[in-house]
Structure 1
Amino acid sequence: MTEEFIIFETAKLLKEKGFDWKCERTIDCNEIIRKYDYPQSMSCCTEINGELVEFLCPTLYVVQKWLREAKNIHICIYNCACGYGYEISKADNGTHIASSTYKGTNDGGEWDAYEEALEAGIQEALKLI
């Protein structure tokens, strides 16, 4: 089993939404993930001409946990005959916020992999903040 890390687009959204948990990895605009021996904060990330080009790169699970604990947003991944989808709700009471019905990339409107659906759900949740 391998750890699944977020993509660059998600890393940028996380920065915009205030993600500040320390990470052992960063990701740059070329989707290159760099590993450090000790956790990094956003202050370590590279800037060029005052614009960030490198961001913290947590695992999908860490972001899912951060959304739950820091933003009260729960992302639930489900599977069906068409593949995987997501439901977004409030973490404290289960109130429905959004779902992925027919938003996926496969012919059935879902995603072929659990991690793809989770990444899409995370991006959607970040846009709602």
Structure 2
Amino acid sequence: MTEELVTLETAKLLKDKGFNWKCEHLIDRNKVITKYNLPQSMSCCMEIDDESVEFLCPTLYIAQKWLREIRGVYVYVEPVIGKRWKLSFCDFNVPTEESDWMENEINKGNGYKVYVTYEEALEAGIQEALKLI
């Protein structure tokens, strides 16, 4: 079994929000993924003319864990009928009665989006959470 890595878009959002956990993979601006034997940190990621051209590329699980442990936002995927998936969020930084603000902001009265795969849903949830924090 291979764990799914985040996409370039998610890797960029993670960097913007301060993600700096060591990873075995980097992704460059051309979406080329490089694997290293030893985990790399943000200091290894290349910049040209103050523009990042390489980004840490964690697994979806690590990105989800970082959001939960460092930023206090829990993104989780729930099954729906027809072998589809939907997103839910919990923000531990606000009072319990307000913890669904993120989910409400993302859905904006349009109902929840349904995804074909668990991984697709988790990636979308991580991206949406990163955009709101």
Shorter-chain TM-score range: 0.7 to 0.9
Matching residue within 111, 117, 124 for 1:113:
117
TM-score normalised according to structure 1 size = 0.87
SS of aligned partner of 1:5: coil
- In the alignment, residue 46 of structure 2 is paired with which amino acid? T
- Aligned counterparts of 1:32 and 1:19: Cα–Cα separation in 2: 20
Quick check: 1:10 aligned with 2:14? no
**Higher share of residues assigned helix:** 2
Deviation per residue, 1:32-85 (Å, 9 max, x gap): 110111111111112222211110000000010011100110011011125211
Corresponding residue of 2:102: 98
- Aligned counterparts of 2:22 and 2:5: Cα–Cα separation in 1: 14
Corresponding residue of 2:24: 24
User: How far did residue 8 of structure 1 move?
Assistant: 0.3
User: How far did residue 3 of structure 1 move?
Assistant: 0.9
Alpha-carbon spacing, 1:48–1:5, altered in 2? closer, same or farther (3 Å): same
Quick check: 1:39 aligned with 2:34? no
Gaps of 5+ in 2: none
User: How far did residue 103 of structure 1 move?
Assistant: 7.7
SS of aligned partner of 2:114: coil
- Aligned counterparts of 2:101 and 2:45: Cα–Cα separation in 1: 32
User: How far did residue 11 of structure 1 move?
Assistant: 0.4
Runs of at least 4 residues off by over 6 Å: none
SS of aligned partner of 2:102: strand
SS of aligned partner of 1:31: coil
* Paired residue total: 125
Instruction: Judge which range, 89-98 or 119-128, deviates more.
Output: 89-98
SS of aligned partner of 2:74: strand
